[in-house]
Amino acid sequence: MLTDTFKTTKSEEIFAAAQKLMPGGVSSPVRAFKSVGGQPIVFDRVKGAYIWDVDDNQYIDYVGTWGPAICGHSHPDVITALREALDKGTSFGAPCQLENVLAEMVIAAVPSIEMVRFVNSGTEACMAVLRLMRAFTNREKIIKFEGCYHGHADMFLVKAGSGVATLGLPDSPGVPKAATASTLTAPYNDLQAVQKLFEEHPDQIAGVILEPVVGNAGFIPPEAGFLAGLREITREQGALLIFDEVMTGFRIAYGGAQAKYGITPDLTTLGKVIGGGLPVGAYGGRQEIMSMIAPAGPVYQAGTLSGNPLAMTAGIKTLELLRRPGSYEQLDQITGKLINGLLAVAKATGHEVCGGHLSGMFGMFFALGPVHNYEDAKQADAAKFAKFHRGMLEQGVYLAPSQFEAGFTSLAHTDADIEKTLAAAKVVLESL
């Protein structure tokens, strides 16, 4: 299957050196290719829908730096704005007007957000929101869902998705039992399990946090009534509902999953797209809750680089591009063509597959399906996915190196890219 031009000599050299310098040779686990095997590819540059590695192989990219590159990598408008911002300096550590601009855009777009605080990553946003929900309700327990990932803070490393699922780690050494004692879990898409937890722990649960569309256990959408049911239960129980929209925010709709499904949570976390490729996270919600954050209120959270002018600039430009008419229709059309094509090619070549998409987010499992939750996702054929991943790589298509990660398209992906991807998939799937 290996094409004549596919060489990875330099990637191998650099990664061998990296392994002596950094744990596993990487700065974040999933990119080490542990679950798909083979050497990870070391990248050199990105542009539009494409990435190039250090050996000069070109790939059609469906990772999009894990979501932020929704307008395509290095969009000229974002780069121009960044160059101008760079002339004014890289960090102020003090208020800047750009924060107001991005805050206004986020507040206007996301139904639940009346006030927002910028941080530097999705992990930070989720950590802060956890403290805030506990402070607001004066309760300690939280409910999260199996396979959902809310960053790597201690309290969330219970049956977590993303790298934790990819590496098959049940939990992490170093997390004290006390840190996770208040974290209750339920299967995704299971309202009865949530109801039962509230009955077992009356007046003790601060809130329910979830990815409204799961992307960190592979792509798993909510079943009809699930999000509305959570809204109803949390209201009845005096608990908060938190949507972790780090992946879905400005991705599946401009206003995120909450706009798409018409369910307004109490608090929302954001990241990825709002940073336009620079490190940004954010959390926001109703004014009465957000006013508890220091210095307006007593709940402490801070950050030297938070509200960084370069990150704000990239975020503003990205959202400006996204709010142009037709952006989400274009993402939906191109991603639908991709996933429907992949499912058709896989079925035609004799493989059991299931999958779907929402705007520019998609996923496919080697399973008969449907996949409702993490347990279902774990039944998918991971060994086959690993071979498929490697084959696609050798054919010039870069997919997320884990079956427990959603895929992402961008406004830069063209019909020709999709056709090339489907032709590659046919070659690979026929060989499996």
Residues annotated as catalytic are 149, 244, 272
CB nearer ligand HOZ, residue 162 or residue 234:
162
The residue type at 378? K
Best CA proximity match to 125, nearest among 298, 246, 249, 265: 246
CB nearer ligand HOZ, residue 50 or residue 66:
66
Min. distance of Cβ 253 from ligand HOZ in angstroms?
20
- Binder among 14, 30, 160, 299 for ligand HOZ (CB under 6 A): 30
Q: Is 28 in the site for ligand HOZ (CB under 6 A)?
A: yes
Min. distance of Cβ 31 from ligand HOZ in angstroms?
4
Three-state SS for 53? strand
Q: Which range in 28-36, 97-105, 176-184, 253-261 contacts ligand HOZ by CB under 6 A?
A: 28-36
Torsion of CA 423, 425, 426, 432, to 10 degrees: 160
Best CA proximity match to 292, nearest among 179, 137, 139, 140: 137
- Binder among 68, 72, 147, 163 for ligand HOZ (CB under 6 A): 163
Min. distance of Cβ 405 from ligand HOZ in angstroms?
5
Min. distance of Cβ 122 from ligand HOZ in angstroms?
8
Q: Which range in 23-31, 52-60, 255-263, 371-379 contacts ligand HOZ by CB under 6 A?
A: 23-31
The residue type at 151? G
Min. distance of Cβ 400 from ligand HOZ in angstroms?
8
* Interaction mask 191-220, ligand HOZ, x per CB under 6 A: -------------------------x----
Q: Which range in 29-37, 140-148, 284-292, 337-345 contacts ligand HOZ by CB under 6 A?
A: 29-37
CB nearer ligand HOZ, residue 216 or residue 421:
216
The residue type at 7? K
Q: Is 31 in the site for ligand HOZ (CB under 6 A)?
A: yes
Burial class (CB in 10 A: 0-12, 13-18, 19+), 415: exposed
Give the sign of the dihedral formed by CA 407, CA 412, CA 414, CA 420: negative
Q: Are strands 267-270 and 354-358 parallel, antiparallel or unpaired?
A: unpaired
Min. distance of Cβ 382 from ligand HOZ in angstroms?
17
Best CA proximity match to 403, nearest among 422, 388, 420: 388
Q: What is the CA radius of gyration of the chain?
A: 21
Q: Is 405 in the site for ligand HOZ (CB under 6 A)?
A: yes
Q: Identify whether the C-beta of residue 359 lies closer than 8 Å to the C-beta of residue 253.
A: yes
Residues 1-20, interacting with ligand HOZ (CB under 6 A): none
CB nearer ligand HOZ, residue 65 or residue 330:
65
Q: Which range in 26-34, 48-56, 135-143, 285-293 contacts ligand HOZ by CB under 6 A?
A: 26-34
φ/ψ of 343, rounded to 5, equals -65, -40
- Binder among 33, 66, 261, 283 for ligand HOZ (CB under 6 A): 66
- Binder among 35, 137, 162, 409 for ligand HOZ (CB under 6 A): 162
Distance CA 382, CA 366 (A): 8
Q: Identify whether the C-beta of residue 51 lies closer than 8 Å to the C-beta of residue 59.
A: yes
Any idea what the Cα angle at residue 324 is, between residues 321 and 327, rounded to 5°? 85
Q: Is 157 in the site for ligand HOZ (CB under 6 A)?
A: no
> 359 Cβ partners below 8 Å, 6+ apart?
251, 252, 253, 328, 331, 332, 335
CB nearer ligand HOZ, residue 98 or residue 164:
164
- Binder among 11, 14, 25, 29 for ligand HOZ (CB under 6 A): 29
Three-state SS for 234? helix
CB nearer ligand HOZ, residue 66 or residue 243:
66
Distance CA 79, CA 83 (A): 6
Question: Where do contacts with ligand HOZ occur on this chain (CB under 6 A)?
Answer: 28-31, 66, 162-163, 216, 405
